[in-house]
Amino acid sequence: MTSRDTHLRCTFIPPWLAERVDGPERAAYDDELRLRRGAIARSALATAPGGAAWTVHDAASRTSLPGTPARRTGEPATGDVAVDEAADGIAATLAMFAEELGRNSHDDVGAPVSLTVHYGTDYNNAFWDGTQLVFGDGDGRIFERFTKPVDVLAHEFAHAVIEHTADLTYRGQSGALNESVADVFASCLKQRLLGQEAGEGDWLIGEGIFMPTVQARALRDMAAPGTAYDDPEVGADPQVAHMDDYVVTTADNGGVHLNSGIPNKAFQLAAIAVGGRAIEGAGRIWYAALAGGDVPPGADFATFAAATVAAAGEHADAVREAWAQVGVGPGASGVGTPPRAPAGRLRVERSGGFVGRTQVAEVDLDDPAEPDLPALVADALARPVAKASPTHPDMYLYTFTVAGHAPVSIPEHQLSPTQRELARRLLDGRHDA
């Protein structure tokens, strides 16, 4: 899809097929979202402060970044649907942050934005790596291309904004806040493109990211965390919506995608209570808290909640009540004892990613079918990443656990060759837990 109306009709899913699968109302909704997305993308080129530039690169199914430049600010549509979706999406996202929040690019001083599409082969993820917004094409079996829902792009750009404001540590409650704030601005963009007020929004994140054969409405539901999908193959949506159900885990950087449902629900409730368009009401409150200097990198839910109440002005009571409804208040830490790995076995977890799914595999260390396994494990555990090493939002995290050793957690971009081989060997389906 592109910013030109003639190209907008040439969608990845033919309109007649979309109508047959999803019904006339769904198809009309999709058409409206695409048209508004294109219109705002056109206006963004002229209205973004300082003419904030962006470049979309094509990785050509490789994993070298950034790839070959494919489209820059002001250039016409290319006909490559992923390139043009990314171009329209970043222009619309920059426009929202500029026009509604007065922010000039992610760093607020007009930094050019670099995006990469067609990353890897059948890559089921999107992420911000500290420099680049990166999008896979999906595997075509479970996931569509990750540029298709515009809120996925806004979510990843918001991670960059977070990095340049509160810089919320990507672990535990601060990591869940990092994920939630990214969802907040993703939903705000979607509703803005559709011209909706908070009470009219569907609050779905990543709608359309699953293939039609998957029993799913979206990846997450901010209004009802834990209800977005329930499919025999991908399982049921595991998000939680209240502190009573807070998940204590070593996976997914401490459950950042699971527990983000709690602040997500708080924002949805606050946005409805404040009223009007989400970005103009609760969105500005959340942004003021994020950028106001009172939220430290390691903030827990209660600390962030207090900052939003302080920034809410006449809406302070409504915001305070929204947090109370999800069980967040002074002293709500959610800290507990992490589970222990089974003895005598190697356990490998791959967690995180934009979709927040966790894959787990285990194998006995004395498995005769894996005679070189002990040596590989010894090498893998001897090469942990330094504690100061950053974990970027939405990149995969690999955790290796063996009895008698502390778990070793490695961001995907820092895996050693041995660790990568172990992960490949165990997570290929032969050793499912």
On whether the CB atoms of residues 115 and 56 are closer than 8 A, the answer is yes
Contacts of 405 (CB under 8 A, 6+ apart): 381
Contacts of 235 (CB under 8 A, 6+ apart): none
Q: Tell me the one-letter amino acid at 152.
A: V
Which residue carries 């942990």 as its tokens?
384
Q: How many CB atoms lie within 10 A of CB 153?
A: 25
Q: 254-287 burial, b for 16+ CB within 10 Å, e for fewer?
A: bbbbbbbbbbbbbbbbbbbbbeebbbbbbbbbbb
Measure the CA dihedral 146/147/151/157, to 10°.
100
Write out the E strands in 53-138.
54-58, 68-72, 113-119, 126-128, 133-136
Active-site positions?
156, 257
Q: What Å distances lie between residue 165 and 84, 103, 106, CA to CA?
A: 29, 11, 9
Q: 9-38 burial, b for 16+ CB within 10 Å, e for fewer?
A: eebebeeeebbeebeeeebebbbebbbbbb
Measure the CA dihedral 85/352/397/374, to 10°.
-120
Q: Measured between alpha carbons, how far is 358 from 351 in angstroms, rounded to an integer?
A: 4
**282-291 vs 261-274: helix crossing angle, rounded to 10:** 130
Q: Measured between alpha carbons, how far is 336 from 187 in angstroms, rounded to an integer?
A: 31
Please spell the DSSP secondary structure of 138-155, one letter per residue: --SSSB--TTSSHHHHHH
On whether the CB atoms of residues 287 and 293 are closer than 8 A, the answer is no
